[in-house]
Amino acid sequence: MKKISLLLILLFTFLLTSCNLPGSDNEPILNPDDAMATEIVRILTGTPVQLEPEPTTENKQVEKTQEVKPTEPEIEVETLEPTPAPTDVPAPTPTATLVANDPTRDLGEPTWVDNMNNSDNWPPGYNEFTTIEFKDGFLKLGARTEYDGWRVSWPIIDDFYLESTVQTPACKNDDRFGMIFRGTVDAKTSKIYMFGLTCDGKYSLRRWDGSTMHALVAWTAHDAIQAGPDKVNKLGVMARGEDIALYINGQKVNNVKDSNYLEGKFGFFVGGNNVENLTLWVDQVRYWINP
């Protein structure tokens, strides 16, 4: 009985091993995908493989931080207070510096002001009688001959108070300079009033009709004038119809009546032959309409 059992066991073992022999007709054909899957299983079960652990919450946070794209560097911007836009309206002159009868005490803000920072209101260049330039906040009107030469601005005004601040860095004796007003100036003729000073301390009012000079006020000395070179004087004209009042440094020096010219342009003149390159410097001009 034992022999029979032993033979049966040997026979059964032989049959099992013969099924997996190479070249056996009974060798199973594997699907490629099954073969790959079998190989993966073999690797995972037969060879120890160290796998990276899943990142913890802390690791994920670090990884996220490292992936943040760099931003543009911050630029420190200095905050500045806005600068007021420049203006040609000057700060009001303290009342204490004006003489008692200076008209500007009661006229309020001027209608028009030019502080001579540029040539916007004046013809540039030179002509037969004068040169003109703008530098250091001055209109600089230079004489090219011994005759009076002038330049005018563009506004046409009739009744007004007109005022300017003038000086000559170098002048002598009867070298003359000043304002013109109610002028008609073109290529054919010029008709103007001329209110001016001399270097030695005289003033006058003249009317030029294009061919003849008429003296409405002859050259007259006055102590209101700051005489000499480089002295600053303020000239003023109050014109109301035919009434024309003249002011020097805020002081009224004369009053005349003349109705020949009742409106026109204003500007400046310079003339004389005592100093080479005689030049009038104008710091400011302003006017009030219908004062």
Q: Average pLDDT in the 104-120 region?
A: 96
pLDDT band at 144 (very low <50, low <70, confident <90, very high): very high
pTM of the predicted model over 0.85? no
Domain range annotation of the chain: 100-289
Contact of 197 with 176, CB cutoff 8 Å: yes
At 149 the pLDDT is 94
Q: What is the DSSP string of 211-231?
A: S-EEEEEEEEE-TTS--STT-
What CATH number matches the domain at 100-289, 2.60.120.560, 2.60.260.20, 3.40.50.300, 3.20.20.370?
Answer: 2.60.120.560
Count, residues in the chain = 291
Indicate the average pLDDT of the chain. 77
CA-closest candidate to residue 219, choices 211, 231, 227: 227
Percent of the chain with pLDDT over 90: 61
Contact of 230 with 170, CB cutoff 8 Å: yes
Given phi > 0 = left and psi -120 to 50 = alpha, else beta, which region is 108? Answer: left
Return the structure tokens found at 59.
């690791």
Q: Does residue 27 or residue 163 have the better pLDDT?
A: 163
Residue that has been written with the tokens 């003729």 in this structure = 189
pLDDT tens digits, one per residue of 153-187:
999 999 999 999 999 999 999 999 999 999 999 87
The single-letter code of the amino acid at 284 is: Q
Q: Give the highest mean pLDDT range of 75-79, 126-130, 173-177.
A: 173-177
67-71, 109-113, 120-124, 215-219: least confidently modelled range:
67-71
